[in-house]
Amino acid sequence: MNRFFDIPSDLQHSWAGLIGLHLREALLPVLGGLVLALPLAQLCVRLRWLYPPVLWVTTVLYAIPSLAFFVVLIDYTGQTEVTVMIPLTVYTLVVLVPAIVDGVRSVPPETLAAATAMGFGPVRRYAQVQLPIAVPAIIAGLRVATVSSISLVSVGTLIGNQGALGNLLHDATIYNRPELAWNAVLTMAVLAILADALLVGVRVLLTPWMPSGTAGRGQGRGRKEAAAR
Amino acid sequence: MIRIDSVTKRYPDGTVAVDRLSLEIPDRAITVLVGPSGCGKTTTLRMINRMVEPSEGTISIDGRDTRQQPVNTLRRSMGYVIQNAGLFQHRTIVDNIATVPRLLGWSKDRARTRARELMERVGLDASLARRYPYQLSGGQQQRVGVARALASDPPVLLMYEPFSAVDPVVRKGLQDELLRIQDELGKTIVFVTHDIDEAVKLGTMVAVLRTGGRLAQFAPPAELLTSPADAFVEDFLGADRGIRRLSFFSSAGLELLTAPIVAVDASAEQIVARATEDVPYLLVTGLDGRPLGWSEPGALTAGQVDTGRLLPCGRPFVAGRDSLRAALDCAVLSPTGWAVAVDREGRAAGVVSQAAIGEAIRGAHATDTTGTTGSAGAPDPAAVQKAAR
């Protein structure tokens, strides 16, 4: 147990260094995925016929093993972090695109009609009405994408120690040190839980208008006053 | 004036939603579009702010074709109130109301100050300003919807079934509030509803549309009730239009009897003196003058009347302010057949019999000329008597 944090020197990182690397390799793809998914989802909302084929394509891409991506990409991007992050970015789309589409579509039709009738153009309406109201759905998608990405980074170990904490799994077998495998699994689990909690916190901050938690008491208050009228 | 000139809306699949509709919507008055579903009332409203573009015909405001200005400029010059309020759930009440002023480029402070003024105007407590829509009742949300539409003080207000999703008590409150606000602000309001009672209550002019988007009748509500243009309109108005028409006759002309009224602490002499041949009952009032109930003179104990044994007097009508409909309703509901009139403070002002009310109704019909001429010509809102409402 005293060798739990004793990271083999071939990884060229301390435990904290591996965590930093892991977060970068896991979270940059989620960010990239969000940047891709936002316009893609907006296209799917505007052109209804586009949504089923887009969903189909993202699902098929998700079904391609990362190893297959590596085989293709390694000729272009080499044995680098980028080679790991490209497939991870592609994988997030399968969650993020439907999350954003559903979120934007969940805006009540009378809210949209009111916005149009008040003289919102399409761009302003998207940025000031549809997107803010879709925030809960988008963050729900981001939570799934983030947790899955944190776990998937490990496969980077297959292309020469690009798996961050996942590299510990490989070292655990070659040095016969099972505590390293425990370290990898537990650290990734804790990172996933923390990242998830952080996103929940962001959601609460961004949506004070949602009827939940402390806001629920406000609703009770409003109801009582309404009854008293 | 909003002028709808032989407008047709035909959809690509051949459906005709509105068929050669022409209407002149008077300024500073409430014009109600009413009709069964599929009559094109919604499409007509949405063509005014170009959420739907007409296939044929023109819509002009003060002589200017609505297509001559950018669509968003047109829309920002009209308030829009929608069913279920359509509030922005992610914005506070004050920011919801400030929406159009902000779109027009007002500073945040100025827009919010204006929004708080409007909250007061529509009867919303200032403490609600920082709340979010989900924290408000349906009726309060609808008030926010009205305030939001009024925010930039547009001359025109389009209202799309604004009160249809709230319960009847709240709806009546909102309707009264709208009439009060309209008295103060004098907007040109186009109001869509499927509820003929709402149309008759709110409308200065009522346009009844029939399925297929054709105009059946365009007239002030009193005329509509008196002389419906055809069987469709008559049918749509419902069975008791004769009774409802009484809403337009004031109770001011009723002769009220004050003799048969005694207070709870009346002495034996007073009770005897007040009992007359004409009225078989005495109305007992509290010491504050409010009516408590009816009793036969013989059943009253002098000095202290047992109020528990009085016959109920129902809901009294306010003399002069309420209509003959309210007076008749009161008389019909009263077990004695006599209606009780009160003054504005709720003190008994007199009693009147069914027979006397019947007399007044015949008199009102004889002198009424608003509807009997049957004119369907240009509306003159000034001539339309809303006072009797």
Instruction: Assign B157 a pLDDT band (cuts: 50, 70, 90).
Output: very high
Whether B362 has its CB under 8 Å from any CB of chain A: the answer is no
Find all residues with CB under 8 Å of B341, minimum gap 6, and list them: B251, B254, B256, B316, B317, B318, B319, B327, B348, B349, B350, B351, B352
Is residue A219 domain-resident? no
Whether B11 has its CB under 8 Å from any CB of chain A: the answer is no
Average pLDDT over chain B, rounded to an integer: 88
For CA atoms B26, B32, B35, B37, give the dihedral sign: positive
Provide the pLDDT for residue B387: 39
CB contact under 8 A, B73 and A108: no
Provide the pLDDT for residue B382: 41
Nearest C-alpha of chain B: how many angstroms from A168?
A: 45
Whether B87 has its CB under 8 Å from any CB of chain A: the answer is yes
Question: What does CATH list as the number for B252-365?
Answer: 3.10.580.10
Is residue A64 domain-resident? yes
What the block records as the tokens of A160 is 């020469």
Residue contacts between A and B (CB atoms, under 8 Å): 97
- Asked whether the predicted pLDDT for residue B29 surpasses 60, the reply is yes
Query: Greater confidence, A223 or B299?
Result: B299
Supply φ then ψ for residue A218, to 5 degrees.
Answer: -60, -40
- Asked whether the predicted pLDDT for residue A85 surpasses 90, the reply is yes
Nearest C-alpha of chain A: how many angstroms from B88?
A: 6
Chain B interface, best mutation among A209, A210, A219, A223, by max B CB count within 10 A: A209
Is residue A156 domain-resident? yes
Is residue A113 domain-resident? yes
Contact residues on chain B for A133, CB-CB shorter than 8 A = 88-90
Mean pLDDT for the stretch of residues B171-180? 93
Provide the pLDDT for residue B8: 95
Nearest C-alpha of chain A: how many angstroms from B352?
A: 33
Residue limits of CATH 3.10.580.10 in chain B = 252-365
Instruction: Assign B383 a pLDDT band (cuts: 50, 70, 90).
Output: very low
Contact residues on chain A for B51, CB-CB shorter than 8 A = 113, 116-117
Domain containing A138 — which CATH number?
1.10.3720.10
Closest CA to B10 of B21, B23, B1, B26: B21
Contact residues on chain B for A138, CB-CB shorter than 8 A = none
Provide the pLDDT for residue A212: 67
Task: Report the top-level CATH class of B2-247+377-383.
Answer: alpha beta
CB contact under 8 A, B137 and A222: yes
- Asked whether the predicted pLDDT for residue A126 surpasses 70, the reply is yes
For CA atoms A105, A108, A113, A116, give the dihedral sign: negative
Strand (E) positions, chain B?
2-10, 16-25, 30-34, 56-61, 64-65, 78-81, 156-160, 188-193, 205-210, 214-219, 261-263, 282-285, 291-295, 317-318, 338-342, 348-353
Nearest C-alpha of chain B: how many angstroms from A46?
A: 17
CB contact under 8 A, A120 and B86: no
A218 closest CB neighbour out of B87, B131, B137:
B131
Q: How much is the pTM? A: 0.77
Instruction: Assign A158 a pLDDT band (cuts: 50, 70, 90).
Output: confident
Is residue A48 domain-resident? yes
Contact residues on chain B for A213, CB-CB shorter than 8 A = none
pLDDT per residue over B332-356, tens digit each? Answer: 988 888 999 999 998 999 999 998 9
- Asked whether the predicted pLDDT for residue B181 surpasses 90, the reply is yes
Provide the pLDDT for residue B384: 40
SS3 of chain A: CCCCCCCCHHHCCCHHHHHHHHHHHHHHHHHHHHHHHHHHHHHHHHCHHHHHHHHHHHHHHHHCCHHHHHHHHHHHHCCCHHHHHHHHHHHHHHHHHHHHHHHHHCCCHHHHHHHHHCCCCHHHHHHHHHHHHHHHHHHHHHHHHHHHHHHHHHHHHHHCCCCHHHHHHHHHHHCCCHHHHHHHHHHHHHHHHHHHHHHHHHHHHHCCCCCCCHHHHHHHHHHHHHHHC
CB contact under 8 A, A211 and B134: yes
Domain total in chain A: 1
If you measure CA to CA, which chain A residue comes closest to B72? Answer: A119
Please check whether residue B226 is in contact with residue B368, taking contact to mean a CB–CB distance below 8 angstroms. Answer: yes
Task: Provide, rounded to the nearest whole percent, the portion of chain B with pLDDT above 90.
Answer: 60
Phi-psi region of A117 (alpha: psi -120 to 50; beta: other; left: phi over 0): alpha
Chain A interface, best mutation among B77, B102, B103, B134, by max A CB count within 10 A: B134
Provide the pLDDT for residue B75: 93
B80 closest CB neighbour out of A118, A129, A218:
A118
Provide the pLDDT for residue B265: 84
Instruction: Assign A11 a pLDDT band (cuts: 50, 70, 90).
Output: confident
CB contact under 8 A, B89 and A133: yes
Range of the domain at A151: 14-208
Chain B interface, best mutation among A118, A125, A138, by max B CB count within 10 A: A118
B82 closest CB neighbour out of A110, A211, A221:
A110
Is residue A228 domain-resident? no
The listed range with the strongest mean pLDDT (B157-161, B162-166, B385-389) is B157-161
Contact residues on chain B for A221, CB-CB shorter than 8 A = 135
B135 closest CB neighbour out of A111, A120, A222:
A222
CB contact under 8 A, B133 and A133: no
Whether B123 has its CB under 8 Å from any CB of chain A: the answer is no
Contact residues on chain B for A132, CB-CB shorter than 8 A = 90
- Asked whether the predicted pLDDT for residue A228 surpasses 80, the reply is no
CB contact under 8 A, B137 and A225: yes
Please check whether residue B185 is in contact with residue B333, taking contact to mean a CB–CB distance below 8 angstroms. Answer: no
Is residue A218 domain-resident? no
Contact residues on chain A for B86, CB-CB shorter than 8 A = 108, 110-111, 113-114
- Residues B291 and B263: their CA atoms lie apart, in Å, by 9
Give the end-to-end CA distance of chain A in Å, rounded to a whole number. 67
Instruction: Assign A219 a pLDDT band (cuts: 50, 70, 90).
Output: very low
Contact residues on chain B for A223, CB-CB shorter than 8 A = 137
Residue limits of CATH 3.40.50.300 in chain B = 2-247+377-383
Query: Greater confidence, B287 or B8?
Result: B8
pLDDT per residue over B257-307, tens digit each? Answer: 888 888 888 888 888 888 777 788 889 888 888 999 888 887 887 777 777
Binding-site residues on chain A for chain B (CB distance < 8 A): 108, 110-111, 113-121, 129, 132-133, 135, 207-211, 215, 218-219, 221-223, 225-227, 229
Contact residues on chain A for B167, CB-CB shorter than 8 A = none
CB contact under 8 A, B86 and A218: no
Contact residues on chain A for B72, CB-CB shorter than 8 A = 119-121
CB contact under 8 A, B90 and A219: no
Provide the pLDDT for residue A139: 95
Is residue A215 domain-resident? no
